[in-house]
Amino acid sequence: LSESGVPQLVQPMIWDYAADLDVEGKVQLIEKYRRCGFSKVWFASAFKGATGVNQSLTLIGHHLKNHLQWLKVASNSPADVLEGIALTGWQRYDHFSVLCELLPVAVPSLAVCLQALEHGGYSEKIKENVEKLLGMSNLETETFMR
C-alpha cells in the first residue's frame, strides 16, 4: 500500500457498531494503517439502525456504549491520527429490508451520542442536559423509550 501511493490519496474509515467493540484491536488496526503510510483515519459509528433487521425502536444504551468505546480507541491512539467520526443512522438494516428505526424515534439516541462525543463521556449531568434540550422528563437509555 505504501508503495502504491494510495495513502496520499485517501483516508480509511474504520466501521464498527458493536457496544463492546475491541478497543485494543482497533488501536492495532490504526497502527497498521500508519505503518502503511496513512496519516489520518476516520471512525464510523451508528446512532440508529444497526442492531437488527426488524428493529423499530432505538435502544439508546447500545449506541451510547459504542460511542464510549470509540472514545477509548481515540484516547489510546496517537493524538493526530483521528480525522473525524461519522455517526451513521441507517434507515434499512440492509438494502433488501424494510425501513427500520425511523428518525423520529432515534432523535434521543442521536442527542445522547452527540453529547457523549462532544463531552468525551457520559454522566448524569449530560443526561439532564439532553432531557432539557429535548423537553423530556425521563430519558431511558437501557430500555426502550415509552
- DSSP secondary structure string, the chain? -TTTTGGGT---EEE---TT--HHHHHHHHHHHHHTT---EEEEEEEES-S-TT--S--HHHHHHHHHHHHHHHHTS-TT-EEEEEEEE-SBSSTTS-B-S-HHHHHHHHHHHHHHHHHTS--HHHHHHHHHHHT-S---SSS---
How many angstroms separate the CA atoms of 31 and 81, rounded? Answer: 10
Tell me the C-alpha distance between 70 and 113, whole Å: 11
What pLDDT does residue 91 have?
87
29 pLDDT band, cuts 50/70/90, is very high
Dmax over Cα atoms in the chain, in whole Å? 56
Residue 100 near residue 92, CB atoms below 8 Å: yes
Q: Is residue 142 a part of any domain in this protein?
A: no
Report which of residues 94 and 102 the model is more confident about: 102
The C-alpha atoms of residue 58 and residue 8 are separated, in whole angstroms, by 38
Per the structure, the complete domain to which residue 14 belongs is given by 2-134
| Domain assignment present for 6 | yes
143: in domain: no
Domain count of the fold of the chain: 1
Predicted local confidence at residue 130, as pLDDT: 96
What pLDDT was estimated at residue 27? 98
Indicate whether 141 belongs to any domain: no
Q: ∠ CA 16-22-25 to the nearest 5 degrees?
A: 100
Look at residue 57 and tell me if it is in a domain.
Answer: yes
pLDDT at 71: 98
Q: Tell me if 144 is assigned to some domain.
A: no
Tens-digit pLDDT profile for residues 98-125: 888 889 999 999 999 999 999 999 999 9
Of the pLDDT bands very low, low, confident and very high (cuts 50, 70, 90), residue 14 is very high
For residues 78, 113, 140, 91, the Cα torsion angle rounded to the nearest 10 degrees is -130
According to the model, what pLDDT value does residue 20 have? Answer: 96
For residue 44, list its beta bridge partners: 15, 86
Residue 93 clears pLDDT 80, i.e. is over it? no
Mean pLDDT calculated for residue range 81-93:
93
Mean predicted lDDT score pLDDT of the chain: 93
